A and B are shown apart, each in its own frame.
Chain A
Amino acid sequence: MNRKSADIVVIGGGVVGCATAFELARLGCKNVVLVERNTIASGSTGRCGAGVRQQFGTELNCVLAREAVRIFEHMDEYLDYEPGVEFRQSGYLMLAYSDQQWEQFQRNVELERSLDIDVKMLTPEGAREIVPFLDLEGMVGATFCQTDGHANPFHTAFAYAQAAKRLGAEILTHTSVMDIEVENNKIQAVVTDKGRIATSAVVNCAGAYSAKIAKMAGIDLPVWGERHQILITEPVEAMMGPMVISFHHDFYCQQTPHGSFIMGIGMPGEPKSFNIRSSVDFLEGMANTVMKILPPLGNLRVVRQWAGLYDMSPDAQPILGECPPIEGFYNANGFSGHGFMVSPIVGQAMAELIILGKSSVDISKLDAGRFERGELVFEPAVVG
């Protein structure tokens, strides 16, 4: 390793780390180093469901997602990325299966509309106009936002990483963080298996492993890994526009631009772990559910399945910002299954916070201190 020092070390080469490194460099920080123990997008980013939605139940999540979508909309130009990140605004169709859920959806829509997010409320028949083969049994209503959609997580992370490099950031893959040196509550250095990097600031974007990184700096961070599984089918011609999602069944399903269907479902009782092995009961549960709600998909063959980790936090919300008492230790983790979709705005907000001392989108409520203060931010609309 040639470099012996950095202004800021970003830990984690997922989409959040790459976006943060890019935005730091864009704000003029010339000495950014990103450290990734494997390869770019090799962890949760490359394993995620690729959805981008703005339909949330808290103002903060709606605003973060809305701003992220605005960046996604012109990301190929913003990052000068020729292959494209494959952002498609084919919408999110959210299905409600009880009156209580429908009431929550209506409250969400009211909030979303007040924040300039255009969401339609639909009857089950109206939902069927969007997805003609949707099974309506038990469905009470649905909401639809056309500007939601999906993007390619690999391309998005690569786009940020390449753009960061062009602005002078250094990206060290296959480099593991072994320790973080702290003196008088100030960051001194990040020690990797390839050498020591003297620095006064660290951004912890290590996903499910963020608690391990925080521990190195003497911080107890309430973030843990939780396995979530996904399968992908053979491709067919485009037949389903939006991401279809149901909290009742705890499942989501989308057709990628390639034509494959990607789908995931929450498995009850999934323990805290770093386990990313696939299981056959997921395959069975997933198939049973999707065949009930989207019956024609029963004729598709499953091509493969995989698992990844949600980086869970106690209120299923991201942990963003500096982490007292350690000066220079910043968190951008705990995304709890909706990290990819907000990564563009999180990168911007983190960089603004670190370089300018204040972010244009107010993320102060998402600091790690909220757990001690008892100010948890519960989001009613999470899946998987």
Chain B
Amino acid sequence: MRLKEHPILDFPAGREVVFTFDGKELRGIEGEPIAAALHASGVRVLRHSPVSGRARGFFCAIGNCSSCLMTVDGMPNVRVCTEPLKEGMVVETQKGHGHLPID
């Protein structure tokens, strides 16, 4: 789902880019939050609570709540609600707290 018209907000036309989500190819608008692109593609579960295992979705949308932490281009704990989408990004669901790359 993606809003195209809004009473007070404008949505300037952006370039469509391809990225992957858990290996699946998806499309989004360059520069929009990664979470927006995922949402537009129907992705509702962004992570699972490391404690209870329950699903976590798009929540605060301003980079505060930790609900949307995902692994992006190998880096864990990226807040996809505020991180701009770029061409070719590799977005992955995080396992537990996420693995920090060590090289």
Residues of A within 8 A of B (CB): 132-133, 234-237, 239, 259, 296-297, 299-301
B contact face: mostly helix, strand, loop, or mixed:
loop
Would you mind naming 6 contact pairs between A and B with Cβ atoms under 8 Å apart?
A133-B103, A234-B77, A235-B50, A236-B76, A236-B77, A237-B98
- Which of the listed residues B75, B76, B99, B102 has the most CB atoms from chain A within 10 Å of its own CB? B102
Whether B102 contacts A236 by the Cβ 8 Å rule is no
Interface membership of B8, Cβ < 8 A = no
> Is B9's beta carbon under 8 Å from chain A?
no
A301 pairs with B77, CB closer than 8 A:
yes
CB-CB nearest 9 A-B residue pairs: A133-B102, A236-B100, A235-B97, A259-B97, A296-B102, A236-B97, A237-B99, A237-B96, A237-B97
Chain B residues in 8 Å Cβ range of A301:
77
Other CB < 8 Å A-B pairs besides A234-B77, A236-B98, 7 of them? A132-B102, A235-B97, A236-B76, A236-B97, A237-B98, A259-B96, A296-B103
For B50, what are the chain A residues with a Cβ–Cβ distance below 8 Å? Answer: 235, 259
The smallest beta-carbon distance between A132 and chain B, in angstroms, is: 6
Contact count A vs B, C-beta below 8 Å: 34
Q: Which residues of chain A are near B97, meaning CB under 8 Å? A: 235-237, 259
Beyond A234-B77, A236-B77, whether A299 also contacts B95 by CB under 8 A is no
Which residue of chain A has its CB nearest to the CB of B98? A236
Name the distance in Å between B30's Cβ and chain A's nearest Cβ.
Answer: 24
B side interface size, CB within 8 A: 13
CB distance from A235 to the nearest CB of B (A): 4
- In angstroms, how far is the closest chain A Cβ from the Cβ of B76? 6
> Which chain A residue shows the least CB distance to B95?
A237
Considering the complex, which residues of chain B in the window 35-75 have a beta carbon less than 8 Å from any beta carbon of chain A?
Answer: 50, 75
Do A296 and B101 form a contact, CB below 8 Å, given A234-B77, A236-B77?
A: yes
Contacts of A296 in B (CB 8 A): 100-103
Closest residue of B by beta carbon distance from A239: B100
Write out the residue numbers on chain B whose beta carbons fall within 8 Å of the beta carbon of A237.
95-100
By the criterion CB–CB under 8 Å, are B77 and A239 in contact?
no
A239, B96: Cα distance in complex, Å: 13
- List the B side residues contacting A235 at CB < 8 Å: 50, 97
A301, B103: Cα distance in complex, Å: 18
A239–chain B nearest beta-carbon distance, Å: 6
* Residues B85-100 near A (CB distance < 8 A): 95-100
Q: How far is the CA of A132 from the CA of B77 in the complex (A)?
A: 22
- Whether B102 and A239, one on each chain, are in contact in the complex, defined by CB atoms closer than 8 angstroms, is yes
- A301 to B77, alpha carbons, bound, how many Å? 9
